[in-house]
Amino acid sequence: MKAKGLLTQFTTNHPKLPAFFKAASSQIGEGSIIEISVTTAEGKNLCTNMKVRPEDMQLVEELKNLSK
């Protein structure tokens, strides 16, 4: 219940993010590369990426279903 309220507040504060995830999730497939980058308030950049493997696809499909 608390997490739902926090998620609602987060999406209110950042309305473009859920739309991005919805659009991106329909494009993710085997061989896709997912990259995450964070820039701290001090300007430090942290970045990582992963290539989606066949064994990742079940989780990707479950995550797609969460946004429906």
**pLDDT tens-digit map of 43-55:** 999 999 999 999 9
Token output for 25: 């999730």
Query: Is the model's pLDDT at 67 over the cut of 60?
Result: no
Query: Is the model's pLDDT at 34 over the cut of 60?
Result: yes
Which carries the bigger pLDDT value, residue 25 or residue 6? Answer: 6
Report the C-alpha gap between 37 and 12 in whole angstroms: 22
Residue 62: per-residue pLDDT:
81
Residue 44: per-residue pLDDT:
98
Q: Is 21 exposed, middle or buried (0-12, 13-18, 19+ CB in 10 A)?
A: middle
Q: Is 56 exposed, middle or buried (0-12, 13-18, 19+ CB in 10 A)?
A: middle
